Amino acid sequence: MRMQNSAEKNAKAGRDTEAAEPRGDTVQSLSRALNLLNRLAESDQGLTLSEAANRTGLAISTAHRLLSTLQRENFVRFEPERGVWLIGVQAFIVGSAFLRSRELTGIARPLMRQLMERSGETVNLAVEDRGEAIYVAQIECRKTMRAIASPGGRAAMHASGVGKALLAAMTEEEVERVIRERGLPEATPRSIATRARLKAELQVTRARGFAIDDEENAIGLRCVAAAIFDETGRPAAALSLSGPKARITDDLLSPLGDQVRAVAGQITNQIGGVNLIR
């Protein structure tokens, strides 16, 4: 009954392990545990033990030991009915603390709602994470046909409005890093697939003040997006407005883009940021 040991016994075992375990091994265990968390975060349906081990390159025994440790701290949870491991509530709490520290979503949400009411389309907020755009907030429109990218969902930087808005606000070195690490995979036949074309698109985006995703991430979906900047002029997030091509027609791309750029500017001002591009 190892799972039912007393707290004192667990604490003592932890101290004994720390005393015996070299510092390098401790750092390696932490890195492996974080890698497991990252892989679980990428899977909406959860992962079996063997899947988690395969995706992280760990032995099954090592993966189970780390997952059990994370489970005790509520960073992961095990669903016995399906035999899968999933992200736990503590991971959400830690992630929420990051968002609270920036006060970004709290400031952005009222302005996002106003933009949704004016435009009639879904409004999203995204940040860059390891070379991808990750959605952190959304205000859905009331129409039956609408674009939805759930918070926590990810999108390729080069093939999404929020991603291109963020890339356009980054340095050339940062853009090259994203291309090197993530490549330029084609999500649709309209996706940008070459470095030269992406660089040209980012130049246009900077001059225009907003990015356009014209069915590059999903066929039938259009999006306009603009960067939000922090106090140093770095891109803190990107704001987007998305909807079906049938509603976001060619003649509406520019007016809607200007609306998104204006609201992104308001959020930038309210968080004390500065746009050094324009």
Asked if residue 233 lies in contact with residue 170, where contact means CB atoms within 8 angstroms, the answer is no
CA distance 211 to 27: 40
Please indicate whether residue 185 or residue 27 has the higher confidence score (pLDDT). 185
- Please say if the pLDDT value at position 141 is more than 90: no
* pLDDT score for 96: 67
- Please say if the pLDDT value at position 262 is more than 80: yes
Please indicate whether residue 108 or residue 13 has the higher confidence score (pLDDT). 108
- Please say if the pLDDT value at position 235 is more than 70: yes
Domain ranges of the chain: 2-90, 103-270
Mean pLDDT of the chain: 86
- Please say if the pLDDT value at position 149 is more than 90: no
Q: pTM for the whole thing?
A: 0.67
Give the mean pLDDT of 208-229: 95
- Please say if the pLDDT value at position 253 is more than 90: yes
> What CATH code would you report for 2-90?
1.10.10.10
Architecture of domain 103-270: 2-Layer Sandwich (3.30)
152 pLDDT band, cuts 50/70/90, is confident
Asked if residue 195 lies in contact with residue 179, where contact means CB atoms within 8 angstroms, the answer is yes
